[in-house]
């Protein structure tokens, strides 16, 4: 063999050995390295993946979800037949006074759910579950039952806080950051639908900022297709880490059952109400002292915006935190503390969940420039004594409770300024005021052509019988005239 042929053979052998070594190295790496994420398939690849379950999450959270039983006593007066006025029927049936005309009591009950949020037995649920309740009882998942005290009720958020009468510690659920929730996230709804016992349903988040639900004053809801039915109200909506992202509160249904559209109050609002319960048992929200309106397509075009966004400031009241901070009429508020504002409802939610004593930052668009405005969070002041009076004299206002209007009273009743005059705070059912059509939140501007500036003046007028009553009532910013004969 020639020398050239020998060298050529050796070169080919070395090349072959190097190639085999590279293949062995790649194979070894493939055996030890984790498969890339891009190679993962939706179909389970092994027995362990097939057995994936929500059971660990449910075991962790379910003991913190309770059944809430609320009951109240209702007094009824039996109606006596007019035949008892006839002496002929009395001969056979006796006098009607033998218990037939005495008031009778019956007990109404309601069923819902709740979530234990601290080991001392603090429970958060819906206001409508325990509204007007005389007694509240909670049942745990381990079948223990306890009486509970009502610590706080806040109708404007449809939330309430209870305290279990029993020795803890109780297993509780932790709040999640509901702002981090995204459409498509998997969630579990836990509650007691139809009273059948604790039930778990699974779904996804369909929307995170529903504002046209009409359940509470602060309309900002998590929408989910997890099955929610009557009895789920007050129950837990939890994420895949087992944390509480919302309190189930309402469904959209024409039949009374679940149609796959359920709504939950975000955990941020529930946490805010729970803190208020710890700090004296009264919800005190910050006061801005300004009004805003929705930005529609026409307003967006007038402001040279590429799309409708934010809310437009329409009024700033004297002496308010908004005025002190420099907020101006025609400012466009587009974000609060970095969270986008899309309409007045989302604006109200973002502002109402802030704590008094802190500061918040508005991002506003003013004359084409973005400006950041820090605002101190203060409670609404009671600029005049409310001087609450219950009107009992025969008049169109009989059965109503009235107050002098101030920023504090307006905030409690969910009203906007101006803050002067007399407002109706309560209307007794079946009273003259109720039959006339008066409602809580109505502002009495005038009676018989006389301006009503205080509750004292209104009470004095009602003490004098009138042949004709002419009422000027403001409702939702519009003044209507009601004429009645005395």
Check if the beta carbon of residue 477 is closer than 8 Å to that of residue 415.
no
Q: What is the DSSP letter of 322?
A: H
CA distance 252 to 206: 13
Question: Which contacts of 51-57 are long-range, i.e. CB under 8 A and separated by 24 or more positions?
Answer: 54/188, 54/200, 54/202, 57/188, 57/238, 57/240, 57/241, 57/242
* Residues whose CB falls within 8 Å of the CB of residue 143, separated by 6 or more in sequence, listed in order: none
Q: What letter would DSSP give residue 346?
A: H
Tokens of 78: 């039996």
Over its C-alpha atoms, the chain yields an Rg (Å, rounded) of 32
Q: Where are the alpha helices (DSSP H) in 366-477?
A: 407-413, 432-436, 455-462
Owner of token pair 């604790």: 198
| Cα separation, 133 vs 139, whole angstroms | 16
Positions marked catalytic: 128, 158, 233
Please give the backbone phi and psi of residue 351, each rounded to the nearest 5 degrees, phi first: -80, -40
Please, what's the b/e burial string for 197-236 (b: 16 or more CB within 10 A of its CB; e: otherwise)?
ebbbbebebbebbbbebebbebbbbbbbbbbbbbbbbbbb
Distance CA 406, CA 402 (A): 12
Query: Cα(453)–Cα(111) distance, rounded to whole angstroms?
Result: 44
In DSSP notation, 11-39 reads: HHHHHHHHHHHHHHHHHHHHHHSPPPGGG
The closest alpha carbon to 398, from 430, 442, 441, belongs to 430
Query: In which residue are the tokens 């403001």 written?
Result: 474
Lookup: tokens for 145: 């039952």
Helical spans, DSSP H, in 196-343 = 267-278, 297-302, 321-325
Q: Are 456 and 471 in contact (CB under 8 A)?
A: no
Antiparallel, parallel or unpaired: β 199-210 and 145-154: unpaired
Q: Which residue has the tokens 């806040």?
A: 154
Place of tokens 């819906």: 126
């Amino acid at each position: 063999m020639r020398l050239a042929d020998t060298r050529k053979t050796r070169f080919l052998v070395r090349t072959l050995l190097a190639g085999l070594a590279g293949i062995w190295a790649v194979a070894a790496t493939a055996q030890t390295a984790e498969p890339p994420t891009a190679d993962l398939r939706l179909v389970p690849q092994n027995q362990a993946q097939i057995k994936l379950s929500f059971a660990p999450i449910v075991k962790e959270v379910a003991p913190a979800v309770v059944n809430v039983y609320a009951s109240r006593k209702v007094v009824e007066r039996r109606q006596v037949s007019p035949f008892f006025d006839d002496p002929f029927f009395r001969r056979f049936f006796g006098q009607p006074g033998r218990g037939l005309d005495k008031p009778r009591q019956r007990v109404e009950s309601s069923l819902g759910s709740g979530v234990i949020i601290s080991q001392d037995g603090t429970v958060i649920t819906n206001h409508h579950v325990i509204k007007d309740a005389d007694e509240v009882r909670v049942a745990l998942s381990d079948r223990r039952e306890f009486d509970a005290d009502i610590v706080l009720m806040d109708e404007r958020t449809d939330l309430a806080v209870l305290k279990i009468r029993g020795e803890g510690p109780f297993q509780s659920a932790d709040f999640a950051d509901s702002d981090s929730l995204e459409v498509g996230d998997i969630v579990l709804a836990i509650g007691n639908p139809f009273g059948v016992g604790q039930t778990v349903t699974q779904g996804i988040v369909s929307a995170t900022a529903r504002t046209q639900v009409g359940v509470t004053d602060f309309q900002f809801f998590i929408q989910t297709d997890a099955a929610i039915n009557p009895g789920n109200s007050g129950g837990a909506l939890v994420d895949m880490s087992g944390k509480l992202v919302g309190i189930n509160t309402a469904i959209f249904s024409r039949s009374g059952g679940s149609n796959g559209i359920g709504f939950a109050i975000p955990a941020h609002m529930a946490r805010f109400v729970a803190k208020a319960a710890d700090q004296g048992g009264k919800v005190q929200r910050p006061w801005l002292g300004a009004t805003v309106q929705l930005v529609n397509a026409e307003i967006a075009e007038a402001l040279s915006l590429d799309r409708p966004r934010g809310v437009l400031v329409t009024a700033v009241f004297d002496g308010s935190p908004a005025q002190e901070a420099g907020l101006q009429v025609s400012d466009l508020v587009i974000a609060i503390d970095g969270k986008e504002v899309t309409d007045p409802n989302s604006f109200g939610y973002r502002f109402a969940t802030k704590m008094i004593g802190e500061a918040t930052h508005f991002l506003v668009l003013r004359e084409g420039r973005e400006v950041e405005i820090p605002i101190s969070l203060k409670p609404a002041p009671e600029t005049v004594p409310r001087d609450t009076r219950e009107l009992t004299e025969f008049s169109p206002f009989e059965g109503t409770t009235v107050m002098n209007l101030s920023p504090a009273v307006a905030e409690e009743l969910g009203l906007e300024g101006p803050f002067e005059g007399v407002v109706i705070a309560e209307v007794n059912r079946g009273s003259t005021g109720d039959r006339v059509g008066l409602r809580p939140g109505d502002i009495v501007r005038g009676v018989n052509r006389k301006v009503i500036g205080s509750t004292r003046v209104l009470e004095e007028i009602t003490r004098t019988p009138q042949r004709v009553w002419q009422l000027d009532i403001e409702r939702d910013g519009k003044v209507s005239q009601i004429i009645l004969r005395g």
